[in-house]
Amino acid sequence: MPHCRSLGYAGARSPEGENALTDPQQSLADLRGELDALDGELIDMAARRQAIVAEIGRLKRDHRQPTRDYSREREVRELARTRARARGLDPELGERLVGAMIEASLTSQERDRLEALGAGAGRQALVIGGAGRMGRWFTEFLATQGWAVSVADPAGAVPGLPWHEDWRQAACDAELVIVAAPLAATVAILEELATLQPAGLVVEIGSIKTPVAPALAALRAAGVAVASVHPMFGPDVRLLAGRHVILVDIGAPGAQAAVRALFEQTSVGLAEMSLEQHDRLVAWVLGLSHATNIAFFTALAGSGRAVDELAAFASTTFGAQLRVAARVARENPELYFEIQSLNPHAMAPLEALATAATRVEAAVKAGDGEGFAALMRAGARYLGNPEA
C-alpha cells in the first residue's frame, strides 16, 4: 500500500513557499476595501434611483395618476427574482433588495405628493401631546402638508417647532387641534375645549373610544367641530400603504369629512364605523395581540433560560414571534394597560385566549394527538386554508 510520503505529500510548506504566499491579513483588508467600494456604489445607485422616482412622481401628479401601480410593482419584483437567479443568487434576496427600494420610493412619492398639494399651507395646527411618539408622528405628517405646526406638551418642546406651555390660547387660535395625550388627560382636555369652544377642528386619536364618548358629546353640544380617529399603526410607520385609519362616527359628519381630507391624498386605507364597533374590533385586533405577546415573553422570562440562549437556536416561528414580542415589550405599558382595562369589550378576547391555551395544554397532557391536530386544522380553515 502506498505510503503518504511516496505520494509526494511533503507535510509543512517550505519557507520559500510561505514567502510566496500573500499576507492573509493584507488580502482580507483588500477584499474588505472592495466591499466598502461596492457598498458605496450601491448607495450611489439607490440615490440615482430615488431621483428617477421623484421625476416619476412628478409626472404622476401632473397627470393625476395614483402613486401606486401594483402591476408594475409585481413586474419589478419578478424581474429582480429572475436576474438574481441568473446570477446565482437567492431569488428571495433579489426581491428583498428591490422591495426595500420600492417601499422607499413609495414613501418618497407619498411625501412629495403631500408637499406639492400643500393642503395646510398658511394654516395653524396645534398638537397637544406633540412630544409623545404619536404626537410627533402627527407633527411631521401635518408639516409635510404645509401646516404651521406648534406643540403643547408638559414633557417639553419638540426641536424645530414652536412650543406652548399652556395649550389653551393656542387651541383657540388654531384651525386644527390634534389631541394626542394619554386617555385620562385626553378626557380632561376635551372637556375643557368644550368650555373654550374653539373655532377650529378638534381631533382626538385615542385607541379606546368609550371613555372619551361623554367629552366628545359635550364638544358637539357646544358647537365645536370634533372628530374621532384611530390610526391603526405605530409612530415608526412612514409608508401608509397597507395601513388603516379608522374614522369613528360620533354624529358629526362635517368634521369627519374634514379629517378624512387630511388622509385622502395618502395611500392609507380609511374605514368608518360606530364607536361601539370600534371598541369591539380593537379588543380583538389590539387587545388579543398585545395579551398574546405579553403572555409569550412573560412565560419566557419565567423559564429560567437566558433569551440569548433561546434566540441562538431559534426556529423560524420562534424567531418571528420573538421579534414581535420584543417590539411589544418596548411599548408604553400605561397605554397598553389602558387598552386592556378601559375597553368594555376587552374581557372576551382575554377569556378566549385563556380558554385556547387550556385546550392546547389539555390535549398535550392527555396525549390526544387527534384533538391537537383538530385544533390546528380548525385554525388553518379559519385562516384561509379550506383544505385543512
- Given CATH 3.40.50, say whether it is the number of domain 279-382: no
At residue 74, does pLDDT exceed 90?
no
pLDDT averaged over every residue in the chain: 90
Per-residue pLDDT at 58: 81
- Range list for CATH 1.10.3660 in the chain: 279-382
pLDDT per residue as tens digits for the range 144-203: 999 999 999 999 999 999 999 999 999 999 999 999 999 999 999 999 999 999 999 999
The model's confidence at residue 36, banded by pLDDT at 50, 70 and 90, is very high
Per-residue pLDDT at 343: 97
Per-residue pLDDT at 1: 56
Q: What average pLDDT does the segment 226-247 reach? A: 92
Angstrom distance (rounded) from CA 187 to CA 217: 11
- Range list for CATH 3.40.50.720 in the chain: 118-274
Helix (H) or strand (E) holding 126: strand 124-128
Angstrom distance (rounded) from CA 145 to CA 122: 10
pLDDT per residue as tens digits for the range 205-233: 999 999 999 999 999 999 999 999 999 99
At residue 11, does pLDDT exceed 80?
no
Grid cell listed for 249: 362616527
At residue 62, does pLDDT exceed 80?
no
Among the ranges 49-58, 129-138, 258-267, which has the highest mean pLDDT value? 129-138
Q: 24-115 in CATH: which number?
A: 1.20.59.10
pLDDT per residue as tens digits for the range 16-27: 544 445 688 888
pTM: 0.78
92-118 burial code (b ≥16 CB/10 A, e <16):
eebbeebeebbebbbbbbbbbbbeeee
Give the CA angle between residues 337, 203, 61 to the nearest 5°: 115
Among the ranges 5-9, 110-114, 172-176, which has the highest mean pLDDT value? 172-176
Q: What average pLDDT does the segment 64-76 reach? A: 78
DSSP letter string over 269-294?
A: EEEEEEHHHHHHHHIIIIIIHHHHHH
Per-residue pLDDT at 388: 58
The model's confidence at residue 300, banded by pLDDT at 50, 70 and 90, is very high
The model's confidence at residue 5, banded by pLDDT at 50, 70 and 90, is low
CB-based contact 98:53 (threshold 8 Å): no
At residue 53, does pLDDT exceed 70?
yes
At residue 15, does pLDDT exceed 60?
no
Per-residue pLDDT at 6: 53
Give the CA angle between residues 177, 180, 183 to the nearest 5°: 125
The model's confidence at residue 64, banded by pLDDT at 50, 70 and 90, is confident
Q: 118-274 in CATH: which number?
A: 3.40.50.720
Burial of 162 (0-12, 13-18, 19+ CB in 10 A): middle
Strand-pairing partners, residue 125, are: 149, 176
- Range list for CATH 1.20.59.10 in the chain: 24-115
CB-based contact 145:114 (threshold 8 Å): yes
Per-residue pLDDT at 361: 97
Closest of 366, 358, 296 to residue 327, by C-alpha = 296
Helix (H) or strand (E) holding 234: none
CB-based contact 167:123 (threshold 8 Å): no
Q: What average pLDDT does the segment 346-367 reach? A: 97
The model's confidence at residue 63, banded by pLDDT at 50, 70 and 90, is confident
